[in-house]
Chains A and B, each alone.
Chain A
Amino acid sequence: MSEFNISIDGMDVAMESGQTILAGCSSQGIDTPTLCYGDTLTPKNACRVCMVELEGSRVLVPACSRKAEPGMVIHTESDRVNQSRKMVLELLGSSVDMSQTDHFEEWCDRYDAHPERLISPDAHTRVYEDPKLDNDLYGRDYSKCILCYKCVDACGEQWQNTFAISVAGRGFKSRISVEFDAPMTDSACVYCGNCVAVCPTGALTPMTEYHMRKVGTFAPERQTETTTVCPYCGVGCNLTLHVQDNEIFKVTSPSDHSVTHGNLCIKGRFGFSHVSINRRGNLPVD
């Protein structure tokens, strides 16, 4: 593995071949916004929020996917980069509901993005879809979907190999879909929830969380996370229990866990309701 230097914002940064510009930025503590990038997936570089300026390139390049090459000179804070990031945030915010996307507001502040600028009262198109609540385990609200392809990749060849969903349609009408837009219960879905785990915008949420948000009881300040080991089989997957008011409402797995890489099966991810059912025997048997 060869080592070489690139320049990022005037700093010499040591890189290894195969590393991305994003890795170089992170090593220098440069905070780069990302949405379609996930640490357990190959990014589709579709969201274009991480664009940086590469000297000699006609267009900006995606930090998350572009591999570093010796001698590259990168700028992450130029006017052109800031303007591009601002506009991508505005395009996103003007077309879908970004209210459940981590860091979105913070990034809008940082780049002076005002999505409402692009919401013209006379002519405005955005994604309006009724939430698809066709199964008991997770909800799909595609008015929050930015088409980052993470759920498709997690369901398909990058992790689960189930291929229940894909991107159907074209252009602004593209949607994540089962064949013939069938309900999830008619699909190949095995309810591993690995799509839910990688969704960056809250378009996919466990039904427990979905209902809490809907009725207004979802309260991050009352939530804790506890990592434990899944009790169901002998693999030993790590589980992170997300608890509010002494009830588990979501289960994830750490994405850096060597066994799961953030993935679980239906039992580990969704099989937790028995914990809080108080009919279970809690008295000594006579």
Chain B
Amino acid sequence: MSDLRFRNEVATPHEVAAIDAALPADARGRRDLLLPALHAANDLMGWVSPGALNHICRSLNVAPADAYAVATFYDLLSVDELPPVVAMRCVDLACRIVAVPAVAPEGMHVIESPCLGLCERAPAIAIRSAGEVPSLMLVAEPEVPVQIRGPLSARIGVLDPASLDAYRTSGGFETLATARVNGPAWISDQVDTAGLMGRGGAAFPTARKWRAVLGQTVSQHYVVANADESEPGTFKDRIVMEGDPFSVIEAVALACLAAGADHAFIYLRGEYAVANERLQNAIDSSTSAGLLGELRIEIRRGAGAYICGEETAIFNSIEGFRGEPRSKPPFPVEVGLFGKPTAVNNIETLVAALAICRGDGVSTKLFCLSGHVARPGMYEVPVGTTLGEIITMSGAEHSDVQAVLMGGSAGAFATPAEFATPLTAEGMRSINATLGSGVVMVLDHSVNMADFAGRIAEFFQHESCGQCVPCRVGTVRQVELLSVGDRALLKEVDQVMTDSSICGLGQTAASAIRSAIAKGLL
């Protein structure tokens, strides 16, 4: 692309400086730097001006139409002029069912936002300020400590998350050292024996993924840590990253060892500013202490798109394309990031693998309790704890519960009659629900289920990438048919989304609503 054509708008010196500061000297041709560059412009001004876009495109040699297409894909990037300070008010599930909604400061420009991942602190507003030093300030209930601890959360709130020394004194990086001695096969064997399944929602056996990547003859392999936690009701990965960032970095390094990768990306949800800062500090201090060897770990900030948590959309987003899912096959373990074999693992999965190799087993799982509970927050409980038990722990009276949303918007509902079900994949399957990303959102009798289900439908309409017809149009029709109450036609639309969408978003966009109808909640 040597003879690109540009329109006349010119970036301001401020914009040029901010964009240039975000790019290395040899950025030309590096399409994967498009999203970081757009962030730089957006962080400075609050929007991406035509001049800034032109400067980015000249620097990277990307066509302006392509960069515009990418910028308009993401909620956090604007191509229309916005005030430098905006309030993103969460209108999603946990924030929707609180008694008193959050109010943005008087006179501030308000953007209605999908789930901010602050469900345990609902209702939440994130105030984004653009400028030389951009900031994200939260207006939400106070931070809550981990409600129930276990091996995956032992350090959170106990150790200084900024201190490498504290982490090492607590035994940090010893597991990685052991794993280096024992080799990749040992790591996957440990993880396999423990039976670890992915904890982002899809429950794929982790060791099988790593072995498949390790076995590829192509020399370059990647690990992508999926920290784009966006499933409404989910906040566990944020709490882990904020509270125990060094564990995350050690766990990523362990996964790289297992998969034969020397380069990892942490694809971090764009709104997770605190996690970003702490992870970057953990990477920097671990690297300068020589603990990561030749391994490169880069954080890439998402920019507000639920779909980018899909394992192939994440590749497109990192590579600087629109975050649209790719067709499978080929699978990521063969053709992944930059076309190379890639293991994509959720943050909880990674730290669970680290705990297994440390000898702590994998007898617990992280759950995100929110909604009408006395003690919302992260619960690390033994696998096999029943739904009723965890709800009791959270301080909710069973008789007050109308329904529980399991696994988030892409999940399903459970009713009080099903409270004896263990929180395992099999248990949830037996009640046509899912563990998903560990969401347990408790709804009392005050919740209007039609409104709640309507919001789930709106969420999918908003988050559909628009690539395939069943999802792009189906999610719109789902909202409409739900509001006019045509159940028969809704079922037909749901079926085509489930059967014929390209990716998991469209395939599960109807699951919670289908479950609400089947269980008599709607």
Chain A interface residues (CB < 8 Å from chain B)? 44-49, 51, 59-60, 62, 65-67, 80, 83-84, 87-88, 91-92, 94-95, 117-118, 120, 122-125, 146-147, 156, 161, 163-174, 177-180, 182, 186-188
Per-residue 0/1 for B473-516: is the Cβ within 8 Å of any A Cβ (1 yes, 0 no)? 11111011101101001001101101111100001000000000
- Say whether B63 faces chain A, with CB atoms less than 8 Å apart: yes
| Complex CA–CA separation, A183 to B489 (angstroms) | 40
Chain A residue with minimal CB distance to B321?
Answer: A166
| Complex CA–CA separation, A161 to B63 (angstroms) | 10
A6 CB, min distance to chain B CBs, angstroms: 15
**A45 partner residues in chain B, CB cutoff 8 A:** 327, 468, 502
| Complex CA–CA separation, A47 to B65 (angstroms) | 23
Which 8 residue pairs are nearest across A and B when measured between Cβ atoms?
A: A163-B63, A166-B69, A87-B496, A174-B466, A179-B68, A188-B5, A91-B473, A179-B64
Within 8 A of A (CB), among B71-110: 72-74, 79
**B475 partner residues in chain A, CB cutoff 8 A:** 171-172
B352 CB, min distance to chain A CBs, angstroms: 26
Q: Are B481 and A120 in contact (CB under 8 A)?
A: yes
Q: Number of B residues contacting the other chain (C-beta, 8 Å)?
A: 54
Chain B interface residues (CB < 8 Å from chain A)? 1, 4-5, 7, 50, 53, 63-69, 72-74, 79, 305, 322, 327, 329, 461-470, 472-477, 479-481, 483-484, 486, 489, 492-493, 495-496, 498-502, 507
Chain A residue with minimal CB distance to B71?
Answer: A168
Q: 9 new A-B pairs (CB below 8 Å) besides A84-B500, A168-B73?
A: A46-B467, A49-B469, A120-B481, A168-B72, A169-B72, A170-B305, A177-B69, A179-B65, A179-B68
Task: Please list 30 pairs of residues, one from A and one from B, whose beta carbons are closer than 8 Å in the complex, sorted by A's number.
Answer: A46-B469, A46-B502, A48-B500, A51-B500, A80-B499, A83-B496, A84-B500, A87-B474, A87-B495, A94-B477, A95-B476, A117-B489, A122-B483, A147-B472, A164-B5, A164-B63, A166-B65, A166-B68, A167-B69, A168-B68, A170-B73, A170-B74, A170-B464, A171-B472, A171-B475, A172-B475, A174-B466, A179-B7, A180-B79, A187-B5
| Complex CA–CA separation, A124 to B473 (angstroms) | 11
A265 CB, min distance to chain B CBs, angstroms: 15
Residue among A66, A67, A179 with max Cβ neighbours from chain B (10 Å): A179
A98 CB, min distance to chain B CBs, angstroms: 12
Residue among B64, B305, B499 with max Cβ neighbours from chain A (10 Å): B499
**B477 partner residues in chain A, CB cutoff 8 A:** 91, 94, 118
Would A59 and B72 be within 8 Å (CB), given that A165-B65, A171-B472, A180-B79 are in contact? no
**B469 partner residues in chain A, CB cutoff 8 A:** 46-49, 88, 91-92, 146
A158 CB, min distance to chain B CBs, angstroms: 14
**A51 partner residues in chain B, CB cutoff 8 A:** 499-500
Chain A residue with minimal CB distance to B322?
Answer: A167
Chain A residue with minimal CB distance to B57?
Answer: A179
**B466 partner residues in chain A, CB cutoff 8 A:** 147, 167, 169-174
**B68 partner residues in chain A, CB cutoff 8 A:** 166, 168, 177-180
Q: Are B461 and A172 in contact (CB under 8 A)?
A: yes
| Complex CA–CA separation, A199 to B78 (angstroms) | 30
Q: Are B499 and A84 in contact (CB under 8 A)?
A: yes
**B66 partner residues in chain A, CB cutoff 8 A:** 156, 163, 166
